[in-house]
Amino acid sequence: MELDFLLTSGDTSSDGLTPRKLQDLIQYPPRPYRSLEIETTTRCNLSCPTCPRVRFRSNWIERDMSMDHYIRVARVFDRFETIHFRGWGEPLIHPCFPEMARMAYQSGARLVLTTNGSAAPPPGLVPYFEAIIFRLDYGQASTYERRNPGARFGRVMFNISQVLHNRDQAGGRRPQVLLLFVKNKYTLRELPSYLETALRLRPDRVVFYPAMFHVRGIDAQAQLPADIGPELIQHVDDRLARIAQSEGVDIINLPVTASEGCESNCPYASRPDLFINWRGMAAACRHSCLPVISGGYTRHIGSRVVPRENRYWGNLIDHDLDAIPTPTKPVVTPPCRLQTEPEKPDAQTHRWHRGHSEGRNGGHGRLNHRAVRLL
């Protein structure tokens, strides 16, 4: 899902070069796969109540991918356009993450990192990434620290500002910096303040997304529209659009859709993408293989409680990529979908791009300094 939020290379490069180095000058053979999401660890330094790691704490497997496994997985990196460090853990806490990132960069694929922002990416690694996605979910200090016990919102803001400051000081335009905030019943009224928080940092894009993968009933009940009237939802959407237009900041505000007919918002079911977990097992996406001892778990989809079993396509440690079924090959039942087709959104995704308006900063959408006061 997160890769769809990135700006295109044409939006971020002034010299005409794309993430595939000198692609405009040299004819590279097309890579057969869009992206590889790799889970370097199942451990995390936060304890978000909505996370499956907290919900299934007694059943959760806390492990890091070994370097031996990683080296074997790295054999196929040159067949993917994008290597996405994500999974169910926090990639930056893996002790070998710097070496892993450098190895992936040497494959010529573009690198994307999704992080919770509580740990700062090593400055020397930052230029390797095409994008760093900070999945904050909450943009007010009180809400963030209540939802993430023991975490400091001010520290996260400082870490993000450091990435942006170092990028600006180097005169580069990589990595793209995106901030993600969850859009549900409990955060709806706070979303305008989340955007105002983001404006202090001036990231490349701010995304408001409705979470659709729930392992607790309270979270499924909070998925919009819930018991919120459409007038309030529209009012908040309009206010976000006005702030974005006034300040000249790029936003993506995903529309609210019903979810009873769709089991997952997983983007990997019909695209040439692959997920590799900490053991080197290949699957459609992280939602189809949680690191739990029992191998099964329960999901809350609307008002229903649905038992799920982990489903893998094969082992990339001992087998070649061609021996593993992927979305480019026939698959009888994609593991992240029900037989029924998901309902189509009632409205188009709301976007506001910085280039559409001059805004208060001359249309550049960036402040002259990055002084961030710790909250």
Say whether pLDDT at 341 is over 70. Answer: no
Inter-CA distances, 62 with 148, 275, 287, Å: 19, 18, 17
Coil vs helix vs strand at 276: strand
Is residue 245 within 8 A of residue 200, CB to CB? The reply is no
* 295-320 average pLDDT score: 90
- Which pLDDT score, from 0 to 100, does residue 259 have? 52
Is residue 365 within 8 A of residue 202, CB to CB? The reply is yes
- Which pLDDT score, from 0 to 100, does residue 352 have? 57
Is residue 111 within 8 A of residue 104, CB to CB? The reply is yes
CA atoms in the 13 A half-sphere facing the CB of 232: 15
* 150-171 average pLDDT score: 93
- Which pLDDT score, from 0 to 100, does residue 6 have? 84
> Using 50, 70 and 90 to split pLDDT, how confident is the model at 14?
very low
> Using 50, 70 and 90 to split pLDDT, how confident is the model at 40?
very high
The predicted-structure confidence for 63-80, as pLDDT tens digits, reads as follows 999 999 999 999 999 999
The residues pairing with 365 across neighbouring beta strands, listed in sequence order, are: none
> Using 50, 70 and 90 to split pLDDT, how confident is the model at 49?
confident
pTM confidence score: 0.82
Higher per-residue confidence, 375 vs 100: 100
For residue 61 the two structure tokens come to 């497997």
Is residue 208 within 8 A of residue 254, CB to CB? The reply is yes
The residues pairing with 60 across neighbouring beta strands, listed in sequence order, are: 292
- Which pLDDT score, from 0 to 100, does residue 216 have? 92
209: closest CA among 178, 250, 254, 179? Answer: 254
Report the range of poorest mean pLDDT among 70-84, 180-194, 265-279, 350-364.
350-364
Higher per-residue confidence, 322 vs 286: 286
* 103-122 average pLDDT score: 95
Higher per-residue confidence, 23 vs 160: 160
- Which pLDDT score, from 0 to 100, does residue 290 have? 95
Kind plus residue range of the DSSP H or E element containing 3: none
- Which pLDDT score, from 0 to 100, does residue 370 have? 34
* 204-224 average pLDDT score: 92
Say whether pLDDT at 280 is over 80. Answer: yes
Is residue 93 within 8 A of residue 100, CB to CB? The reply is no
Would you put residue 214 in left (φ > 0), alpha (ψ -120 to 50) or beta? beta
Domains defined for the chain, CATH in brackets: 2-356 (3.20.20.70)
Higher per-residue confidence, 137 vs 326: 137
Say whether pLDDT at 9 is over 60. Answer: no
Supply the angle between the helices 191-201 and 153-170 in degrees, to the nearest 10. 40
367 Cβ contact list (under 8 Å, min separation 6): 200, 202, 361
| d(C-alpha 339, C-alpha 70), whole Å | 35
> Dihedral (C-alpha) 103, 12, 212, 142: value to the nearest 10 degrees?
100
